[in-house]
């Protein structure tokens, strides 16, 4: 009897277990589900018995890690799943109080997502929202954030000419950086200069803080030029990153090239190839001659002070009100009005300290040679000096790059 009783008890336990399974299955079958929710349907019931669904961070793996701070820009952003497939990935970059979607694409096999641009922006917050199906067909969603490094040092470029300006055909695009650039190729690649109508434009480095662009010959009148600075987050030197992402546009106006003959003491002014006038001038004295070569107008001042000590001389002159001053070099060569020399000096004697003087009135006359030329000039116009006893102006003295042969100019690029 005891033996039979033990068998009956085991049979009863088996029956109870069978009834329990049946109840679970019946209960699971009674649940409603669209087949997509985690923890729904028969599978979830069994899953709850034998273990939880994998955590979202195990199904969807995001790099950099959630909550990371000061992530370096070279760190790769990626979203991936070990099996199954990614359904959607949305990444947003918050920077300078602006939110920008980060474009990217899911791989053909559905296992990974990468951004189109591998480099992260600096001083930015990234938000990643991803949805994926795992190998068992269960949907998971993940939301992560991380922030990138805030650099201590930045560099910017000062651009000439000014945005939306109209310039002469000799204008050279010149970028001067506020810090030395040692990663010159990276910076050069981040600057694009284009023209309409199209023309070949090449860069040339002068030292570590200046990058100029020009075509082989003077621009054609009417050309529209765009300078695109994509310098933001570009590493210009170790630990020094660019700050700008901007465009500068300018229009090339009419052609005006003036030829100064230091021996004849005249200046021929030609507009679109036609001679407008021949103006008497005074150039540099024999002991302080004017540079030879092609110079470009970079600045025009109605009146300015000229002091010999600021350009390397002694106390030879200090004139507080020089009228119609047109800068030709960074070292201090101007073409300007002169009211202090006798009128018969112009066209007859060279008496200046290297500048080119045109007759003018004190305060600047409108009907004087200097006033006439000033009113007809643009930044970017060319003034070429010939037959002076001085050397040719250096290519980096002002916008003197036209004095460099094209082959030599092109050799000044850092991108080989």
From 89, 44, 243, select the one nearest 157 (Cα to Cα): 243
**C-alpha triplet 54, 55, 59: angle, nearest 5°:** 75
> Three-state SS for 42?
helix
Tokens representing 28 are 């699971």
| Locus of tokens 């949805």 | 131
Cα 307 off chain centre by:
37
Catalytic residue among 138, 324, 336, 353: 336
Tokens representing 353 are 């300290």
CB contact at 8 A, 129 and 101: no
Whether 355 is catalytic = yes
Cα 200 off chain centre by:
20
Whether 31 is catalytic = no
CB contact at 8 A, 147 and 68: yes
- Distance between CA atoms of 394 and 396, rounded to whole angstroms? 5
Cα 337 off chain centre by:
39
CB contact at 8 A, 175 and 264: no
- Distance between CA atoms of 337 and 259, rounded to whole angstroms? 17
Segment 113-116 long-range contacts (CB within 8 Å, at least 24 positions apart)? 113/78, 113/79, 113/80, 113/86, 113/89, 114/76, 114/77, 114/78, 115/77, 115/91
Residue 276: what are its φ and ψ, rounded to 5°? -90, -45
The residues near 68 (Cβ < 8 Å, ≥ 6 apart) are 146, 147
In sequence order, what E strands does 10-97 have? Answer: 61-63, 78-80, 85-95
In degrees to the nearest 10, what's the CA dihedral of 370, 371, 373, 374?
110
In sequence order, what E strands does 125-206 have? Answer: 125-133, 139-147, 153-155, 157-160, 165-167, 173-177, 191-196, 201-205
The catalytic residues are 336, 355
């Amino acid at each position: 009897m005891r033996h039979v009783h033990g068998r009956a008890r085991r049979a009863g336990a088996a029956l109870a277990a069978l009834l329990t399974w049946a109840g679970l299955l019946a209960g699971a079958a009674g649940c409603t589900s669209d087949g997509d929710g985690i923890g729904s349907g028969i599978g979830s019931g069994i899953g709850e018995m034998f273990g939880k669904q994998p955590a979202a961070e195990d199904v969807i793996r995001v790099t950099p890690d959630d909550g990371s701070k000061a992530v370096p820009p070279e760190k790769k952003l990626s979203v991936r799943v070990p099996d199954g497939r990614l359904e959607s990935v949305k990444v947003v970059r918050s920077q300078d109080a602006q939110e920008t979607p980060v474009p990217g694409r899911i791989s053909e096999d559905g296992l990974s997502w990468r951004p189109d641009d591998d480099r992260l922006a600096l001083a930015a917050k990234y938000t990643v929202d991803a949805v994926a199906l795992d190998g068992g067909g269960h949907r998971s969603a993940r939301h992560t954030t991380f922030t990138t490094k805030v650099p201590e040092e930045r560099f910017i470029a000062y651009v000439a000419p000014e945005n939306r300006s109209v310039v002469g055909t000799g204008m050279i695009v010149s970028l001067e950086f506020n810090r030395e650039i040692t990663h010159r190729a990276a910076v050069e690649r981040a600057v694009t200069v284009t023209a309409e109508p199209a023309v070949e434009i090449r860069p040339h480095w002068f030292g570590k803080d200046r990058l100029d662009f020009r075509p082989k010959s003077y621009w054609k009148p009417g050309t529209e030029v765009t300078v695109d600075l994509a310098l933001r987050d570009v590493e210009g030197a170790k630990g020094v990153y660019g700050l700008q992402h901007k465009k500068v546009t300018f229009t090339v106006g009419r052609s005006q090239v003036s030829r100064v003959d230091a021996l004849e003491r005249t200046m021929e002014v030609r507009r679109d190839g036609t001679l407008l006038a021949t103006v008497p001038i005074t150039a540099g004295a024999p002991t302080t001659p004017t540079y030879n070569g092609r110079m470009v107008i970079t600045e025009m001042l109605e009146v300015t002070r000229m002091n010999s000590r600021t350009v390397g001389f002694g106390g030879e002159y200090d004139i507080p009100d020089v009228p119609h001053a047109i800068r030709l070099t960074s070292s201090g060569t101007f073409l300007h009005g002169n009211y202090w020399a006798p009128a018969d000096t112009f066209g007859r004697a060279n008496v200046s300290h290297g500048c080119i003087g045109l007759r003018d009135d004190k305060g600047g006359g409108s009907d004087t040679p200097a006033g006439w030329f000033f009113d007809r000039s643009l930044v970017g116009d060319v003034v070429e000096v010939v037959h002076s006893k001085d050397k040719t102006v250096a290519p980096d003295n002002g916008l003197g790059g036209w004095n460099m042969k094209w082959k030599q100019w092109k050799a000044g690029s850092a991108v080989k």
